[in-house]
Every structure is written in structure tokens, then in C-alpha cells.
Amino acid sequence: MLFPYKSTDSGIHRLDARPKVAFVLAIFVFSILISDIAYLIILLALVLTVAAAGRVLRPTLGLLRYAAYVAVFVILFNILISSGREVIATIGPLTVTSESLLFAISMCLRLFLAVSAFGILTFAIHPDEAMRVVSRVGYKTTTGLSLSTRMYPTVAADTQNITDSMRARGVEFDSGGFLGKIRARSHVVMPLLLNSLERSIAVAEAMEARGFGSSRRTNYSERRMSRSEGTMMAMFIAAAVLGIALFILGYGNADYLRGAGLNWSSGDVLAIAAYLLLLSPIVLGGRR
């Protein structure tokens, strides 16, 4: 209920976490490097297809709805400080130029791309598995991270219960204007902090009693990747590397504020085709 990940039987869920994390990382790299709108639209379509294949499209779109609020702001902001010469509309004292509009759209698409990749990470990868992938960094860090995932629903429930208690003690949460609401919410912070503090001491004690922190330890599950999963992971990493190389060569990098248009070269078509070829195998998912 409170937890974003739900175990679902889909090809994407069955796939080993490592290729999935590699896929998400590749998409993150793209969302940072690529600014060309056409590239972004195609990649976004790919990620949403993956979300649909993993039956997590609905929650991912839910995340995108929040991103859309930010997008509205990004677009308005860009129009306000508009630069460029190609005026396409005038609203009162504001002029909308095609340069700033295209730039704003590109920024929004990058945001959507990153957010939808985050959706895959959150909704289609088991947090324990994701942690295990990251665990190469260090075991204690990983346990700390895993623990915070595990405790998330507990803290969320605590927040709800404390809010209920405060209501029962006469604190109004739903009226009294913006400042009033903020003040009401602030009453939740202190008990939540104290509860979490007491909890963390108890958890630390329980972990110590179970031998956590001893120098040598073993690892329970080391799932082996199948050959196809290994190949997929290699392809996704290759896509990210290719993306960096092509970025340096100037592909997918459209500077709309300096008048770049929506034109495509044959090189662009090849680059996009290469990305799709390398990334799309993820929809095949893992074996049953």
C-alpha cells in the first residue's frame, strides 16, 4: 500500500536487476546529454513502452504528472526571459520566440525522460536487488540504504498516525490558509523525529545482536545472470558509451537558443537507430 514497488509477474520484473540498472543509467545519461527534441521524443516513447511491458505505466504516468507541473513552470519561465528573434506570438508585454519555446520543450522532455526512467527504477526493480547492484560500493552503505527502503513505509505510517493524533488534540490541518497549514504540519515534525530516533536505536541494537558489523561476512544470494541478460547489460552500457561519443561529435545536441531548428541529418537517423537497436531488447524481459 505504502510501498512503491509491487511484485508483478512481467518480463521486465523477471529480468535481472543489473541490466535494468544499466538501462536506467543509460537513459539518465541521455537525459543529461541529449537536447534534440526528436531524439528525446523517441527515447521517451521507448521508456514508456518498457514501463507498459513491465505493467508499471500507470504509476510512471503518475510520476510524470508531477513533472508536468514543473514543466509548466519551465515553459513560462523561458517565455518570460525569452531571447531569440523569431517571434511567433505576442501576449501583452511578453513575446514568445520559437527559440525559447523549443528550448523549453527540450528541457521538459529531458525532465520527462529522466522521471520516467526513475519510474522504471522505482516500480520495476526490487529495492533489495537494486541495492545489491550498488553493493559493490560498500556493504554498510548498502545496508543503510536498504534499511531506509525498508523503513520508508514505517515512517510513512508514523506520519499518518501522528497527524491523526494531532487532529485529535485539536490541530486543524485543512483550514487556516497556506501559513496555517504549514504551521499545522510543523507539529508533526517533532514527534516524528523523536519516534524515528527511538526506532533507530532499537534497530541498531537488534542488528548488533544479530552480529552485524563483524569483519568477515558472506553473501546469501548471488544470482547468476543468464547469457541473454549479460548481453543486454553489455548493450545498454554500450548505448551509454555511444551516447557520450556521439555527444562529443555533436549528435543529438541541438542548441535551440542559438537558432537550431528541427531539421534532421542522415547521421541523426543512424544515431537514433543505433540507440534503439541497443536499448530496445529490454522489452524482451527475462525468462520465466
267 in contact with other proteins (CB under 8 A): no
* CB 129, min distance to other proteins, A: 10
Helix (H, G, I), strand (E, B) or coil at 225: coil
The torsion angles phi and psi of 97, rounded to 5 degrees, stand at -105, 155
Helix (H, G, I), strand (E, B) or coil at 231: helix
* CB 225, min distance to other proteins, A: 17
Contact 22, 238 (CB under 8 A): no
Stretch that binds other proteins, among 109-117, 121-129, 238-246, 259-267 (CB under 8 A): 121-129
Stretch that binds other proteins, among 26-34, 50-58, 120-128, 267-275 (CB under 8 A): 120-128
Region of residue 57 (left: phi > 0; alpha: psi -120 to 50; beta: else)? alpha
Inter-axis angle of helices 57-80 and 37-53, nearest 10: 160
**Buried-state track 169-180, b at ≥16 Cβ within 10 A, e below 16:** eebebeeeeeee
Beta strands in 12-157 (DSSP E): 87-91, 94-97
* CB 187, min distance to other proteins, A: 8
Which is closer to other proteins, CB of 126 or CB of 257?
Answer: 126
- Would you give the end-to-end CA distance of the chain in angstroms? 26
Which is closer to other proteins, CB of 189 or CB of 249?
Answer: 189
* CB 10, min distance to other proteins, A: 14
Give, as ranges, the residues between 155 and 214 that touch other proteins (CB under 8 A). 158, 161-162, 164-165, 167-175, 190-191, 194-195, 198-199, 202-214
Nine-digit cell at 130?
537494486
Among 90, 218, 263, 266, binds other proteins (CB under 8 A): 218
Which is closer to other proteins, CB of 214 or CB of 265?
Answer: 214
Distance in angstroms (rounded) separating the CA atoms of residues 41 and 61: 15
217 in contact with other proteins (CB under 8 A): yes
Distance in angstroms (rounded) separating the CA atoms of residues 15 and 55: 14
* CB 114, min distance to other proteins, A: 25
2 in contact with other proteins (CB under 8 A): yes
288 in contact with other proteins (CB under 8 A): no
Among 84, 119, 127, 252, binds other proteins (CB under 8 A): 127
Contact 103, 119 (CB under 8 A): no
3-state DSSP helix/strand/coil % of the chain, to nearest 5: 70, 5, 25
Which is closer to other proteins, CB of 28 or CB of 152?
Answer: 152
The footprint of other proteins (CB under 8 A) covers 1-3, 5, 7, 126-128, 143, 146-147, 149-150, 152-154, 158, 161-162, 164-165, 167-175, 190-191, 194-195, 198-199, 202-214, 216-222
